[in-house]
Amino acid sequence: MTDKEMCVVLTENDVSPWDDETGKLYHFPKQYQKSVSPGMRFVYYKGKLKSENKQYSSQRLSDAPHYFGVGRISRIEPDDAGNLNAILTDFQRFDQAVLARNGDDYYEKIPESKKSNYWRSSVRPISSEVFADIAVAAALTEPRHVISDIKNEVVHTENEADEESLVSYVEGKKSSKYVTTYERDQKLKKLAKIIHGTTCYACGFNFGDFYGEYAKDFIHIHHVVPVSEFGGAKNVDPNIDLVPVCANCHGVIHRKKDRTLSIDELKDMIAASKKTP
């Protein structure tokens, strides 16, 4: 997700005339058509709980205005009433609410021309920077990733032991009597999933869509710059340094220990393999 990409806030009401399913389907009026497009990342938002709807309090993360999850818009389809349906994917619910107010200000940047009625819009465009700020708040951590040499230590992550072997090295470039290991901050990995989703950046495969609920949210997280080339401790920004890839693509990326394929190179390989002779 680059700084030029736009994202969007989707408001979910406690009471709605539409039979939407959170994380799968979202109805919206045609007036917001230009703000919503396939492939776009979205943040779910709920406004303040109204007094007449107190029975819905247990279904919310907070009674105050807040963000409660993120996902990606897969495609847009019209409905029979002249409105539009956003088909959603990669939905990830936050563990706890991210309140709309960030200290004395708001996460969303409110234009001067819309200050009086900004929150009435159920669909609101936001920048990728605002999206990332909300994602960081949801993960409750500052981006931190320490790379170091640790004697005789092996690090594993989320039962994904095979992922640990997917590291490229340049032969002869570095020698050490210690085992080189890389601390993978689990909150940082979670943050990368929140920002980028859990669909493979290279081939588009999604474990949850293919295998069902059991495999939901499973994905490998790939370092755009190989960790073995950091040359020491480095702060990693999950917004630009980490991307989700499936196990197959991750294996091909690191197939040769002296070279790491870029995501674009892998995409070109996939596209070339699909061409008819």
Helix (H, G, I), strand (E, B) or coil at 188: helix
pLDDT at 35: 92
pLDDT at 205: 93
12, 224, 231 from 256: Cα distances, Å: 47, 16, 20
3-class secondary structure, 115: coil
The answer to whether residues 181 and 228 touch, using CB atoms and an 8 Å cutoff, is: no
Global pTM exceeds 0.85: no
Q: What is the pLDDT of residue 230?
A: 55
- What phi and psi values does residue 18 have, to the nearest 5 degrees? -100, 145
pLDDT at residue 123 in the model: 96
Residue 73's SS3 state is strand
β partners of residue 92: 70
Query: Considering Cα of 126, then 217, then 2, then 29, what sign does the dihedral take?
Result: negative
pLDDT at residue 167, as a whole number: 52
Beta strands in the chain (DSSP E): 6-11, 25-28, 41-46, 66-78, 84-99, 101-102, 105-106, 123-127, 147-149, 180-182, 220-223, 242-245
Query: Beta partners for 25?
Result: 87
What tens-digit pLDDT sequence spans the chain (277 residues)? 544 568 999 999 999 888 899 999 999 999 999 999 998 999 999 999 999 999 999 999 999 999 999 999 999 999 888 889 999 998 989 988 999 988 889 999 998 888 889 999 999 999 988 998 898 888 754 333 332 332 233 333 344 445 555 554 444 444 443 333 444 467 778 888 888 889 999 999 999 889 988 888 899 998 887 665 655 556 778 888 889 999 999 999 988 877 888 899 999 998 888 764 4
pLDDT at 7: 92
